[in-house]
């Protein structure tokens, strides 16, 4: 009889414990922003931070590009970067397999779109790439220049 009462008490403790656990367990915490579905805008206007936070994923940290699942051109010692207009338009509207980063050209519009960059950010990253990685192009593009280019394309 003693064993039976202790088994009943043990079962009772288990049932009560399980009930308490179901009440205590909350629904899983969900993020307000899943990141991939709605990419967070970059707050910085530092060209180096933008490059290393966004561009190096394809062009690599040393800007030497990559080949494999895709072809990502090298930006290091690149004579195509002679024209700041060329660089800005490429960032704004994309080129070949490179996505557009300008808002008007679809960046940030859908969940699989890249992060949209503002004119100041595009100018900053264009100037950074053109003055780093063995590139020595000293003429700088300004945000106003990028905005004017965006109106023409």
What's the CA gap between 138 and 93, in Å, rounded? 23
Q: What percent of the chain has pLDDT over 90?
A: 47
Q: Does domain 47-152 have CATH number 1.10.760.10?
A: yes
pLDDT band at 62 (very low <50, low <70, confident <90, very high): very high
The angle subtended at Cα 121 by Cα 108 and Cα 69, nearest 5°, is 55
Domain positions in the chain: 47-152
Q: How many CA atoms lie within 13 A of 2 on its CB side?
A: 0
Report which of residues 106 and 150 the model is more confident about.
Answer: 150
The angle subtended at Cα 26 by Cα 25 and Cα 29, nearest 5°, is 135
Q: What is the pLDDT of residues 141-153, one digit of tens each?
A: 999 999 999 999 8
Alpha carbon 137 to chain centroid, angstroms = 27
pLDDT band at 16 (very low <50, low <70, confident <90, very high): low
- Is there a contact between 127 and 91 (Cβ–Cβ < 8 Å)? no
pTM for this predicted structure: 0.70
């Amino acid at each position: 009889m003693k064993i039976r009462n202790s088994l009943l008490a043990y079962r009772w403790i288990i049932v009560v414990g399980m009930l308490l656990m179901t009440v205590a367990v909350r629904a899983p915490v969900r993020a307000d922003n899943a990141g991939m579905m709605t990419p967070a805008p970059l707050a910085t206007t530092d060209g180096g931070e933008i490059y290393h936070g966004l561009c190096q994923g394809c062009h690599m940290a040393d800007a030497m590009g990559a080949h494999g699942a895709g072809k990502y051109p090298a930006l290091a010692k690149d004579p195509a970067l002679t024209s700041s207009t060329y660089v800005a338009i490429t960032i704004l509207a994309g080129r070949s397999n490179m996505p557009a980063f300008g808002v008007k050209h679809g960046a940030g519009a859908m969940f699989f779109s890249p992060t949209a960059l503002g004119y100041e950010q595009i100018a900053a990253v264009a100037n950074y790439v053109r003055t780093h990685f063995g590139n020595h192009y000293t003429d700088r593009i300004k945000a106003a220049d990028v905005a004017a280019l965006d109106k023409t394309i």
